[in-house]
Amino acid sequence: MKKILFITLVFSALIACKQPAKHPAVVAVAIQPPAFNADSAYSYIQTQVDFGPRVPNSTAHEQCGTFLAAKLRSFGAQVIEQRANLTTFDGTSIRAVNIIGSYKPTSTERVLLFSHWDSRPWADNDPNPANRNKGVPAANDGASGVGVLLEMARQLQQKNPSIGVDLIFFDAEDYGAPENYSGNSEDSWCLGTQYWCKNPHQKGYTARFGILLDMVGAPDATFYKEGGSMYFAPEIVEKVWSKAQSLGFGKYFMNQAIGTITDDHIYVNKMAGIPSIDLIHYRNEGQNSGFGHYWHTVNDTMDNIDKNTLLAVGTTLMHVVYNE
């Protein structure tokens, strides 16, 4: 008798399951993305740094640009090298290259992830005046974001997300006028991004949102809710921060706002109209910029890159992208 009752119960349960639910189950199950490998990201940063400072017009810059485009192609992206002759605040003419890698290029629903790949031409924050005319090794300030994005590219090739993805390595971000410059320094930073905003690689290009990775490799990095990101794209800040916190990376993603930072995302917001946020390491250390004591010095080297931070950033962004 008990057995019959049990079988009946199981049957009614099965039938019940077949009925259209009155309240359809809309419990969103998060999609598990491929695992981000921080060792790979680290090695891609090392490779960039090994070229030497990637200062526009230098051999290291040319060689690194060739490497980045080839690497993206090897990971199955459709690649465009957007070349432009740009003029810097001090009148220097530079050969800039924005490197664009696209996945699912025909999808109309897209996300944009970007970093700058150039090195600042002068270590103008260096405590030693003799170093201030040298190029910056730019391990954190440049190579870190690109390294994370290259590892994401490697994973994007393994498993397609449902949305199209564009990775852009912008050039000439860091050619901005020094603090003490007496001439016109307006819009002197982010030259590659400004060029792309005026000349997108595809006519009418747009994306759901954009995420800028800038200085994402420091040990115990802290990412704050930056003012421009909160002004233009608060819902994207929320999306990324809540994902990071649910993955256990809360110690990197602070629930606190800071002021606006002039960076590539500002132009992508204002000129391209794509709601974009800046993931940028910041720490109030009183005496210095807040971007690390080695920022714009010859000490921005691999010593300031930590795989745990790369893992936190890369894993979070993988989860964000694969759940779009």
Applying CB under 6 A, the residues found at the interface with ligand AHN are 141, 174, 189, 214, 261-263
Which of 124, 174, 214, 306 touches Zn ion (CB under 5 A)?
A: 174
How many residues line the site for Zn ion (CB under 5 A)? 3
Q: Contacts with Zn ion in 97-126 (CB under 5 A)?
A: 120
Residue 137: closest CA among 288, 294, 285: 294
* Shorter beta-carbon distance to Zn ion: residue 121 or 275: 121
Rounded CA gap, 187 and 291, in Å? 20
Rounded CA gap, 315 and 313, in Å? 6
* Shorter beta-carbon distance to ligand AHN: residue 291 or 322: 291
Q: Which residue is nearest to ligand AHN (CB)?
A: 262
Using CB atoms within 10 A of its CB, is residue 44 exposed (0-12), middle (13-18) or buried (19+)? buried
Strand order in the sheet with 164-170: 78-87, 93-103, 164-170, 110-116, 209-214, 276-280
Using CB atoms within 10 A of its CB, is residue 67 exposed (0-12), middle (13-18) or buried (19+)? middle
| Cβ 84 to ligand AHN shortest distance, Å | 20
| Cβ 294 to ligand AHN shortest distance, Å | 12
* Shorter beta-carbon distance to Zn ion: residue 88 or 107: 88
Q: Is 278 a residue that touches Zn ion (CB under 5 A)?
A: no
Rounded CA gap, 35 and 163, in Å? 18
* Shorter beta-carbon distance to ligand AHN: residue 30 or 259: 259
- Region of 68-76, 88-96, 141-149, 313-321 interacting with Zn ion (CB under 5 A): 141-149
| Cβ 157 to ligand AHN shortest distance, Å | 28
Q: Which does 71 bind (CB under 5 to 8 A by kind): Zn ion, ligand AHN, none?
A: none
- Region of 61-69, 135-143, 144-152, 251-259 interacting with Zn ion (CB under 5 A): 135-143
Rounded CA gap, 123 and 224, in Å? 25
Q: What is the DSSP letter of 176?
A: P
| Cβ 164 to Zn ion shortest distance, Å | 29
Strand bridging mode 110-116 / 209-214? parallel
Cβ-contact 45, 217 below 8 angstroms = yes
Q: Which does 300 bind (CB under 5 to 8 A by kind): Zn ion, ligand AHN, none?
A: none
Q: Which does 264 bind (CB under 5 to 8 A by kind): Zn ion, ligand AHN, none?
A: none
| Cβ 263 to ligand AHN shortest distance, Å | 5
Cβ-contact 172, 186 below 8 angstroms = no
What type of residue is 55?
A: V
| Cβ 212 to ligand AHN shortest distance, Å | 9
* Shorter beta-carbon distance to ligand AHN: residue 103 or 195: 195
* Shorter beta-carbon distance to Zn ion: residue 92 or 206: 92
CA 168 distance to own-chain centroid: 9
Strand bridging mode 276-280 / 78-87? unpaired
Q: Distances from the Cα of 67 to the Cαs of 54, 62, 63, in angstroms?
A: 12, 9, 6
| Cβ 101 to ligand AHN shortest distance, Å | 21
Q: Which does 261 bind (CB under 5 to 8 A by kind): Zn ion, ligand AHN, none?
A: ligand AHN
Q: Is 141 a residue that touches Zn ion (CB under 5 A)?
A: yes
| Cβ 121 to ligand AHN shortest distance, Å | 12
**Residue numbers of the site for Zn ion (CB under 5 A)?**
120, 141, 174
